[in-house]
Amino acid sequence: MLGEIGAYAKKLIADGISGYRLLADDVLIGEDVTIAPTATIIGPAVIGKGTEIRPGAYIRGNVITGEGCVIGNSSELKNCILLDGVQAPHYNYIGDSVLGNRAHLGAGVVCSNLKADGKNVVIKADEDYETGRRKVGAILGDGADIGCNSVINPGTVVGKNTSVYPLTSLRGVYPSGCIVKSQKEAVKRV
């Protein structure tokens, strides 16, 4: 999916969407989108209805958002999909990632997308999943909530309705309905 985001955004822009308008040749925005004057949007990008793009936000291409998202102060997005209601309100980086409905990133959360060794990203779960890509960020399930200043290492998957403590470095796959207290400690919600 990550390799197809740009082409799909271009198709949506070319075909048009009812209730959306062109902001620029390669940027399509829905009704009631608010964009701060200091935000930068480089296409292709499709911004969902009712989304708020705050001061200093930097959208640098191949981005599709759902409705009612918040792209916040000094947040940077590239090659990603944000489903409805995603909040990345303060100093976030989202690269090569997919964030589920109502996922929330606390201030300073980074969805890291490139391994230091330059090798392809492998998603490590019960078995390893070779992505064939050098850049893969986070995959967050619906309602995932990531605490402030956490780092989501390349190829990390966080399940639906899972919460992560602040200042946590994540690597691997975390199940749905958990509270993640550290990289190696996840407890089921009661």
pLDDT tens by residue, 92-136: 999 999 999 999 999 999 999 999 998 999 999 999 999 999 999
Structure tokens belonging to residue 190: 């009661």
pLDDT at 177: 98
Cut 0.85: pTM above it: yes
Task: Output the pLDDT for position 162.
Answer: 98
Rg for the chain (alpha carbons), in Å? 16
C-alpha to C-alpha distance for 41 and 157, rounded to whole angstroms? 27
Q: Is 90 a catalytic residue?
A: yes
Catalytic residue among 60, 90, 124, 134: 90
Closest CA to 25 of 5, 41, 38: 41
Per DSSP, the three-state class of 6 is: helix
pLDDT at 147: 98
Q: What pLDDT sits at residue 88?
A: 98
Looking at residue 178, its pLDDT comes to 97
pLDDT at 71: 98
Token readout for 4 is 């197809």
What is the predicted pLDDT for the residue at 11?
98
Following CA atoms 115, 119, 125, 128 in sequence, which dihedral angle do they give, to the nearest 10 degrees? Answer: 180
Which residue ranges in the chain fall short of pLDDT 50? none
pLDDT of the residue at 190:
81
